[in-house]
Amino acid sequence: MCGIAGSLRWEKSNSNEFNNLKKIISFLNHRGPNFSEVKKIDNVVFGHTRLAIIDLDKSANQPMSDVSGRYFIVYNGEIYNFKEIKKKLLSHGVVFKTNSDTEVILESYKIWDKKCLDFFEGMFAFAIWDKKLKKLFLARDRLGEKPLFYYPYNGKNFNEGIIFSSELRALLKHPNVQFKISDQGIWEYLSLNYILGNSCIIKGVKKLEPAHFMIIEKNKFSLKKYWHLKKYFINKKNYTSKSEALDEFKSLLDNTVKKQQISDVKLGAFLSGGIDSSTILASMCNTQQKKKVSAFCIGFHEEDYSEIEQSKYLSKFFNIKNFSLNIGSEIQKDFLKILDYTNDEPIGDTSILPMYYLTKFTKNHVTVSLSGDGADELFIGYETYLANKLKQVTSFLPNFFLENLSSTVNRFFPVSHKKISFDYKLKQFLSGCSLSNFEAHFWWRNIFSDNLKKEMFKKYNDKLISPFSRYKKFFDDVGECDFIDQASYVDINTWLVDNVLVKLDRTSMTNSLECRSPFLSHKIVEFAASLKPGWKMNGFKKKDFLKKSQSNILPKKILFAKKKGFNSPISIWFNNSLNKIAKEVTLDSEITDFIKKNSIEKLWKEHESNKIDHSFRLFGLTCLSRWISTQKRN
């Protein structure tokens, strides 16, 4: 696990590129504290910071070249099946100089070119330079677990070259990358508290999307997708029975977890006590000695938000070591620091706070941790899926009745600051019931409505595109599928890759911890997509298939526990310990160049008076505001 950066310039004479890359790499040291190096190879300068996980020897440091000196690579990630691929390469006569997965990627590219991507099981972002053909190859893993930002060298096209980096803030240290905030980026961010797809908050910067590769040659550029998840949703696999599918899944999961435990450093697991992380932990205990398994959990003094008791209960059940930590008053002094560390590009997910503490705490004991991320999207675990089902029940009611009911509930139902409280869910549900199925699914993820954005965004113009259009495109991709499958496909391609995995990468890499997510093995993702939707959500039973797979493994207390999610008590904090800090950030900063100050003041007033719970909106604005002011200072 590492940080990578590089620049390709067709004019070799620019002697400043080496220093430019050194500056970029200095901002990626947290991603790889064990070793860093910048190397100039004719038209290309590659930089790398290393967090040593596989093959700790210095011979595995990067940038790495093959034996011939023709090919060079910088790589961030892990290839879990690299030993299997290595055997194939040995049969082709390849001679290896290291025991690293980095060299396996490089040699795979030499043998199979872009087709090498089909062999890799893992998370990755890498760049390979072919010195002879003057060709740069960039690729990103199927689900986008590892990030890659890029910028045309001249800011317009690739005629002069390209600059790339694992992080946006590092990329911005290159003198050619201009700090110009995108109005479209802010417009999208206000909708969702994150930015979708290849878009970026900085004009001209793009993200290489998941499951894509890019080839850059002189006067030639191509960008292609190499893996298509939609075909697995559309072409369902025929099983003789559900039992057959359950057996296949358990075998697939155990094989995946076993591969993802390969490490030359200490390894553990996140354990909230929910079904997802518990399933991963159970598989770990099944595939290696329990004495080698350690579980890590974070909690809060606010009882509704803490999952430490469930974590301890399950650790005791499996007789493994449990490490847990309660977060209290320290959030007050850490709050802005956490935003600065994790806000590479603004992301307003409140769970970034506990995730930061969890990764920092875990890193005190191990260097690699497994997580349960991805199960909710694959096996239908979110409340929004339940809302989709319930919406069908209300479909016979006229829209004017639903709109009036929603207005009445908003006026008279008291605001509660409990974790995803009933009043919050009821209000969100009713406000989306009068919409189409597609619009409602987007609405239940929505932070600021278009009308509210138009009212508060100073730079609004009718050329701004609603992020709903991206949602609709993904719905259309699998338009022939059941709506639950459509919603799952959309969430995998939006919420999961652009929010959940971004948060996981940012928080873990800030603390130099590698996180692995077995549910995101592309084989498990393909398997889940090919299941009948009624198996995954049985009536109103969410995640029914996953729970059945663990029925003889996990205790009932865990199997049937109410889903809590991994949010922080931000609504409570914003009325108490973080009130002054967050208000100062949102009301006394450069954000008012974009958002009307009186609109922000109104949100605070309504939240503080318990009239409306604006915690998600205010947290998103706080993250955005802090990012703008911090970047301008730097």
Q: Which amino acids are annotated catalytic?
A: 2
In angstroms, rounded to a whole number, what is the distance separating the alpha carbons of residues 200 and 344? 11
In single-letter form, the type of residue at position 516 comes to R
- Given the structure tokens 């690579």, which residue do they identify? 73
Question: What is the C-alpha separation between 8 and 19, in angstroms, rounded?
Answer: 14
Q: Is 315 helix (H, G, I), strand (E, B) or coil?
A: helix
The phi and psi torsions of 139 (rounded to 5 degrees) equal -145, 155
DSSP per-residue string spanning 579-601: HHHHHHHHHSSGGGGTB-HHHHH
- Whole-angstrom Cα distance, residue 513 to residue 519? 19
CA angle 293, 294, 296 (to 5 degrees): 145
The Cα 593–Cα 445 span in angstroms is 26
Contact 387, 440 (CB under 8 A): yes
SS3 call for 329: coil
Q: Per the structure block, which two tokens stand in for 436?
A: 């189409």
Through-space distance between the first and last CA atoms of the chain, rounded to whole angstroms: 26
Q: Please give the radius of gyration of the chain, using alpha carbons only, rounded to the nearest integer.
A: 24
For residue 474, give every residue at least 6 positions away whose Cβ sits within 8 Å of its Cβ, in sequence order, or none: 489, 490, 493, 494
For residue 271 the two structure tokens come to 């354990």
Q: Is 565 exposed, middle or buried (0-12, 13-18, 19+ CB in 10 A)?
A: middle
